[in-house]
Structure 1
Amino acid sequence: MLKLDHITVVPPTLAEGVRHVQDCLDIEVPFGTRHEYMGTHNHRLQLGDGIYLEIVAFDPDGISPRHARWFGLDDQKTVRSNWDAGRRLRGWVASTNDLRSVLAKHGEIFGTEVPLPPENPVFAFAIPKDGSLPLDGAAPSLIDRRGVPVSSEKIPDRGAVFRSMTLEHPEPEAIERLYEELEIDHPPRVVTGTEVRYRAEIETPSGLKELT
């Protein structure tokens, strides 16, 4: 079974991502970390029940990894195009305890297993060969934390709580069937739309907000 691990805002720059989330949620998301092994960096925010929000962007001062960056971040032209079109909440990451089994059945969607960090792996992430989001983000990215859940103490808590997420998609029935086949626990609600587009409802100290 797959379970929601975190939701992802994918901006051209961290500053733009932080500003967008603050505009949506009235919360300034603190800096998280630099992914030295991936050439990316992030800001993170707890959303309750072990779920968190990640704003993840290309790190201009980072290395060039030996493989594609996650979340499509090698293709900055597409990242910018999506951002300017309002597709900013670009997807979500699902956790699994058996990544290899999922990839054996659905490797064409999710890519291959990449142990991270490479020198001393503590988790594994599935990354398509070109680094793109699975099915343009309609399918989750996959993480296997190898039995060690993310420490909530390392992620700032500003009183925000995840409530729900909705996906707009041109073929909602096909995506719902995929979610069922993957045995996703509480997947996003899928509705008809012209393109892949997410929105999430998040309870904040100043009320219920929508992140897009």
Structure 2
Amino acid sequence: MNAVIDHLVIAADSLEQGAAWCAATFGVQPSGGGKHPLMGTHNRVITISSESFPDCYLEVIAIDPDAPAPGRPRWFGLDHPEVREAVRESPRLVHAVARTRKIEMLRRDLANFALNPGELLAAQRDTPDGLLKWRITVRDDGRAECAGALPSLIEWEGQHPCAHMPFTDVALQGLVLRGVPTEAVDVLKLPAVHTSPIAAVQNAPLTATLKSPRGRVVLDAWHFGS
């Protein structure tokens, strides 16, 4: 393997809305999280680690109304008008992020197949347990390749967020990515992830299946274009 699934991204209109959605959907309130000065966003998190997806978490992320605009499109399509309109109704699964120790090599290899994984940006956020620092691929337009199905790449410097997250009974059991070219699948070599090179209009670009205190939960990502 060259990468593993690190976290799922749930876009919300506000953190309050996102927390209420988590409680209703999973029976668990997100906690922790913090502010992202680089992008003018903030988040809450819950661990969703499992045997198939170790050190994995779910991130509820929203535009921080108290932060200055970042002067560029925010990550995960949060500034896209269709995303903004959609999350006013309900939080949405929009993306998955893959963890790697080979971020520069994988980014270059994906670009060689005419994909645009984005530029490498350095980011950080404060936590009660210390500063989290990472590098992540972000496209200039803020969107994600393959309508969100191609995971962004992240490389953590030092500690991983899951190291200080409280245990929950929510666990990621399966992830399907649709519309990711075979060449990209071969580059990433993501364990436990099912992929399809076909992106049918009626299918979500990614589907996550989780177990939770509320039972089995299936989340289909919202399709907002490539």
Gaps of 5+ in 2: 126-130, 221-226
Within the alignment, does 1:111 sit opposite 2:118 as a pair? Answer: yes
**Structure 1: which amino acid aligns with 2:43?**
N
Structure 1 Cα separation of the partners of residues 216 and 138 of structure 2: 33
**Structure 2: which amino acid aligns with 1:34?**
K
Structure 2 Cα separation of the partners of residues 138 and 9 of structure 1: 14
Moved more, 18-27 or 131-140: 18-27
Indicate if the aligned counterparts of 2:12 and 2:88 stay in contact, CA closer than 8 A: no
Task: Show the 5 A alignment for 1:1-212.
Answer: 1-48=2-49, 49-75=54-80, 77-83=81-87, 88-107=92-111, 108-117=115-124, 122-146=133-157, 148-167=158-177, 169=178, 172=179, 175-190=181-196, 193-194=200-201, 195-212=203-220
Cα gap change, 1:105 to 1:87, in 2 (>3 Å): farther
Structure 2 Cα separation of the partners of residues 200 and 85 of structure 1: 20
Structure 1 Cα separation of the partners of residues 90 and 62 of structure 2: 16
**Structure 1: which amino acid aligns with 2:69?**
S
Structure 2 Cα separation of the partners of residues 182 and 165 of structure 1: 14
Cα gap change, 1:32 to 1:7, in 2 (>3 Å): same
Greater share of helix:
1
Gaps of 5+ in 1: none
Structure 2 Cα separation of the partners of residues 152 and 72 of structure 1: 24
TM-score, reference length from structure 1: 0.82
Cα gap change, 1:198 to 1:182, in 2 (>3 Å): closer
Structure 1 Cα separation of the partners of residues 212 and 78 of structure 2: 29
**Structure 2: which amino acid aligns with 1:72?**
G
Indicate if the aligned counterparts of 2:39 and 2:74 stay in contact, CA closer than 8 A: yes
- How far is 1:33 from its partner? 0.8
CA-based RMSD: 2.8
Structure 2 Cα separation of the partners of residues 66 and 85 of structure 1: 26
How many correspondences in the alignment? 205
